[in-house]
Each structure stands twice: as structure tokens, then as C-alpha cells.
Amino acid sequence: MKDEFYIGYLDRSPPGLSRRLRIFLGCGALILVMGVGLLASRQSPAEPGRFDFGQTPEWEGILFETPLPRLQVSSDGSNRQFLLVGAGKFGLPAFAQGHDGQRVRFRGTLIEQGPARMLELNDPGSFAVVDESRTSPSAEALLGTASLTGELVDTKCYFGVMRPATGKVHRGCAVRCLSGGVPPGLLVRDASGNGVVILLVGPDGGPLQFNVQWAARLLRAEGNLELRDNLPILKVSRLTLIPE
């Protein structure tokens, strides 16, 4: 018989069988690489964002607590707004509360996506009131009533802390962040998939009361849309869950 036969206790397999095995393994590896590449190409790109983890430069500005906690930093004749959150999955920490309108100084970490900026206050010992006099916030610019449809996101993760920060894969994290007081946002996309986050507050400008279990779900938010220091804010009069 001239048919090649593999015998396990021999050091080498027959040359013809070895050749066919190499061709088979090479083709399999090529198919695997092509499959992985095709799968990767079909994935949605991650949203851009920046989180300066471990970096805590000093920041100084006027702290406003309503309608959302933020720091107003004046530079070159203009005011930049930074939303404020605490370390981990929490909103404005207790040590920074009660200073509405006062000038403060602290060390914090920058979170940034496009024009949206946020600071994480993670060093309680660095927090200090620079000026105890209180400044009034600028007046809002009312844009009119609006009915918007989008995904409920926690802004801290979406602006740069986590990737991905949308959809079911991030839902558990978003629920905990929103439960801890991270400002909620409505991610609204255009026909091309480009998104913008509209910050959500209550109808009176206070914190929005909502079901945090709606995180990563599609919602319809109705209310008065305003622009406050270039921050798009919706005073929500009605929030509706859109069935999947």
C-alpha cells in the first residue's frame, strides 16, 4: 500500500500529509484574520473623548450649583463652563456643596469631548473658597419648546471616562452613575449618526426626577430648551420611554 498513514509514536508524519496539513492550517489562519478584520470593520466607532486619569491640575473659578453643578472659568475675556462630578460614580461631592456663586479653588481631573467639558473633584483636601461673596449666574437664552428623542446617558462616562459609553453593554454602569448624581443627558443623533448631548433638568430648573433604570434606553423628552453659557439644557416637562 502506498497511502500515507500517520503513526503517533514516530517523530515525523509522512511528507505528503505534512504538506496538506500546512496548507490547511495556512488557509484557516488566513480565513480567521479576514473574518476578524471584517468583524472589526462593521463595528460602530467609539465616541471621541478624553479623560486625564491621574492628572489633577489646579482649577479656579465660580461654582454654580443650579441648574447643574458647574465651574465657570474666565479666560481671555470669555467664560468656559465645566460640569462638576465627584470621584467614581457620583455627582458633586458633599465637600463642594453649599458654595453656589462663590469663587473656589481645587485640584481635579479633566474630562472632555468636543465642546463639552467636565471636572472630577477627587481631592477633598485641595478644595478651598477663594472669595465668599456670591455671584449670580448669567441669564439663560430660551430657544423655545422642544420634543427630542434620544438615548439617556450618564454624561461622565459619555464625555470620556468609558468606552463604549452607550447601549446595553454600558447600561449597568450608567444606572449606577445616574443613581449617584452624575448629570443625565439625552444623546440625540442626526441622520448621519452624529450626536449631541442635551443636559436634562427638572421643569423648575432643579434636579430631574426620573427612573434611572431607563439608562441606555430610547426616550422622548419634552420641555423648554435653553442655552446657558453655551450649555444646551432642556427643562423637562415630560419624559417618556419609547418601547423597544
Class of domain 50-131: mainly beta
**Residue 30: burial class (beta carbons within 10 Å; 0-12, 13-18, 19+):** exposed
Q: What is the pTM of this model?
A: 0.79
Taking only the tens place, the pLDDT of each residue in 60-113 is 999 999 899 999 998 777 889 999 999 999 999 999 999 999 999 999 999 999
User: What pLDDT shows up at residue 41?
Assistant: 59
- The CATH architecture to which 141-241 belongs is Beta Barrel (2.40)
- Domain spans in the chain, listed from the N-terminal domain onward: 50-131, 141-241
170 neighbors 157 (Cβ within 8 angstroms): yes
Residue 73 phi/psi, 5° resolution?
Answer: -110, 125
Each residue's pLDDT expressed in tens, for the chain with a length of 244 residues: 566 666 666 677 777 777 777 888 888 888 888 888 776 655 555 567 889 999 999 999 999 998 999 999 987 778 899 999 999 999 999 999 999 999 999 999 999 998 899 999 999 999 999 999 999 888 788 899 999 999 999 999 999 999 888 999 999 999 999 999 999 999 999 877 788 999 999 999 899 999 999 999 999 999 999 998 888 999 999 999 998 7
Cell of 93: 461631592
**Are 50-131 and 141-241 equal in CATH topology?**
yes
